[in-house]
Amino acid sequence: MRNNRNKPREQQSRRGSQNRPVPAADSFLDEMKNDITAFFEINSKESFSQSDVLENFDVIDRKTKLLTHGLLGELVDDGQLTRHPDGTYQYNENDQTTEGTVDHVNPRFAFVGSGDRDTDMYVSTDDLNGAIDGDKVKVARLSGSSNSGGFSRGSQTRSRRIEGKVVSIVERGRSELVGRISTWPNYGQVIPDSKKIYEEIYIPKDKLGEAKDGDKVIVRLTRFPDGRHRPEGEVISVLGQAGQNNTEMHAILAEFGLPVLFPDAVEKESQGISEKILKKEINKRRDMRGITTFTIDPEDAKDFDDALSIQMLDNGNYEIGVHIADVTHYIVPGTALEDEAFKRGTSVYLVDRVVPMLPEKLSNNLCSLRPNEDKLTFSAVFEITPDAKIKKEWFGRTVIHSDRRFAYEEAQDVVDRGQGDYLAELRILNDLAFKFRDERFRHGAINFETVEVKFKLDENGVPLSVYPKERKDAHKLIEEFMLLANKRVAEFIHGLSRGEHPNVMVYRVHDSPDFEKLKTFATFAGRFGYKLKVDNEKELSKSFNTMMESLEGQPEQNALQQLAIRTMAKARYSTEDIGHFGLSFRRYSHFTSPIRRYPDMMAHRLLQHYLDGGKSVDKEEYEAKCKHSSDRERVAVEAERASIKYKQVEFMNRMDRDQEFKGIITGVTDFGLFVEITETSAEGLVRMTDLGDDFYDFDKENYRLIGKRNKKIFAFGDAVTVKVKEANLARRSLDLWLVDDKGALKTPLKSRLTRRENTDGESRSQRRSGSSSGSRPKAEKPGKERRRR
- The three state secondary structure string of 652-698 is HHCCCCCCCEEEEEEEEECCEEEEEECCCCCEEEEEHHHCCCCCEEE
Q: How confident is the model at residue 745, as a pLDDT?
A: 65
pLDDT at 47 over 70: yes
Q: Is residue 178 part of a domain?
A: no
Q: Is residue 557 part of a domain?
A: yes
Residue 11 C-alpha from the chain's centroid: 44
Q: Is residue 478 part of a domain?
A: yes
Q: Is residue 743 part of a domain?
A: yes
Q: Specify the pTM.
A: 0.80
Summarised one tens digit per residue, pLDDT across range 560-585 is 888 888 888 899 999 999 999 999 99
Q: Is residue 380 part of a domain?
A: yes
Helix or strand run (H / E) with residue 22: none
Q: What sign does the CA torsion over 220, 224, 228, 230 have?
A: positive
Answer for the pair 80, 168: CB distance below 8 angstroms, yes or no. yes
Output the domain CATH number for residue 145.
Answer: 2.40.50.690
pLDDT at 18 over 50: no
Q: Is residue 722 part of a domain?
A: yes
Is there a single domain that holds both residue 78 and residue 105? no
When pLDDT is averaged across residues 665-682 and rounded to a whole number, the result is 91
pLDDT at 345 over 80: yes
- The answer for 681, left when phi > 0, alpha when psi is -120 to 50, beta otherwise, is left
Confidence of residue 692 (pLDDT cuts 50, 70, 90): confident
Is there a single domain that holds both residue 582 and residue 726? no
Q: Give the separation between CA 574 and CA 568, rounded to whole angstroms.
A: 17
Is there a single domain that holds both residue 590 and residue 707? no
Q: How confident is the model at residue 249, as a pLDDT?
A: 95
Is there a single domain that holds both residue 356 and residue 422? yes
| Coil/strand/helix, residue 470 | coil
Is there a single domain that holds both residue 506 and residue 522? no
Q: Give the separation between CA 166 and CA 179, rounded to whole angstroms.
A: 26
Question: Domain boundary residue among 529, 552, 568?
Answer: 568
Q: Give the separation between CA 138 and CA 113, rounded to whole angstroms.
A: 9
Output the domain CATH number for residue 726.
Answer: 2.40.50.140
Is there a single domain that holds both residue 438 and residue 523? no
Triad 344, 345, 347: Cα angle to 5°: 75
When pLDDT is averaged across residues 50-74 and rounded to a whole number, the result is 89
Triad 712, 718, 724: Cα angle to 5°: 90
Is there a single domain that holds both residue 501 and residue 607? yes
Q: Give the separation between CA 761 and CA 93, rounded to whole angstroms.
A: 46
Confidence of residue 138 (pLDDT cuts 50, 70, 90): confident
Query: Total structural domains in the chain?
Result: 5
Is there a single domain that holds both residue 535 and residue 489? no
Q: Give the separation between CA 550 and CA 121, rounded to whole angstroms.
A: 36
Q: Give the separation between CA 367 and CA 362, rounded to whole angstroms.
A: 5
Instruction: Of 265-274, 276-285, 439-448, give the lowest mean pLDDT range.
Output: 439-448
Contact partners, residue 772, CB within 8 Å, separation at least 6: 726, 728, 731, 733, 735, 758, 762, 766
Is there a single domain that holds both residue 538 and residue 594? no
Is there a single domain that holds both residue 40 and residue 145? no
pLDDT at 384 over 60: yes
Question: Domain boundary residue among 605, 635, 665?
Answer: 635
Question: Domain boundary residue among 603, 635, 667?
Answer: 635
Q: Give the separation between CA 171 and CA 233, rounded to whole angstroms.
A: 18
DSSP string, 566-590: HHSPPPEEESS---BTTTTBSS-B-
pLDDT at 757 over 80: no
Q: How confident is the model at residue 26, as a pLDDT?
A: 47
Is there a single domain that holds both residue 534 and residue 580? no
Distance in Å from the first CA to the final CA of the chain: 32
Provide the angle, in degrees to the nearest 10, between the axes of the packed helices 619-653 and 245-255: 150
Phi, then psi, of 16 in degrees rounded to 5: -60, 150
Within a 13 Å sphere around the CA of 247, how many CA atoms are in the beta-carbon half?
Answer: 20
**Strands (E) located in 250-336:** 286-287, 293-297, 306-312, 318-325
State the chain's mean pLDDT as an integer.
85
Q: Give the separation between CA 420 and CA 452, rounded to whole angstroms.
A: 29
Instruction: Of 146-155, 182-191, 466-475, 674-683, give the lowest mean pLDDT range.
Output: 146-155
Q: What is the CA radius of gyration of the chain?
A: 30
Q: How confident is the model at residue 515, as a pLDDT?
A: 81
Q: Is residue 411 part of a domain?
A: yes
Q: Give the separation between CA 318 and CA 323, rounded to whole angstroms.
A: 16
Answer for the pair 79, 95: CB distance below 8 angstroms, yes or no. yes
Instruction: Of 21-35, 142-156, 279-293, give the lowest mean pLDDT range.
Output: 142-156
Buried b (16+ CB within 10 A) or exposed e, 441-460: eeebbbbeeeeebebebeee
Q: Is residue 2 part of a domain?
A: no
| Coil/strand/helix, residue 735 | strand
Among candidates 478, 354, 456, 471, which has minimal Cα distance to 405?
A: 478
Question: What is the percent of the chain with per-residue pLDDT over 90, rounded to a whole number?
Answer: 59
Among candidates 716, 717, 737, 728, which has minimal Cα distance to 761?
A: 728
What one-character DSSP code corresponds to residue 549? H
Answer for the pair 365, 275: CB distance below 8 angstroms, yes or no. yes
Answer for the pair 100, 121: CB distance below 8 angstroms, yes or no. yes
Is there a single domain that holds both residue 33 and residue 124? no
Among candidates 485, 486, 491, 493, which has minimal Cα distance to 610?
A: 493
Output the domain CATH number for residue 69.
Answer: 1.10.10
Domain containing 457 equals: 264-510+575-635
Question: Side chain identity at 68, as an amino acid letter?
Answer: T
Helix or strand run (H / E) with residue 686: strand 683-687
Confidence of residue 13 (pLDDT cuts 50, 70, 90): very low
Summarised one tens digit per residue, pLDDT across range 230-248 is 899 999 999 999 989 999 9
Q: How confident is the model at residue 550, as a pLDDT?
A: 87
What is the number of other CB atoms lying within 10 angstroms of the CB of residue 257? 13
Instruction: Of 119-123, 381-385, 457-461, 628-632, give the lowest mean pLDDT range.
Output: 119-123
Confidence of residue 358 (pLDDT cuts 50, 70, 90): very high
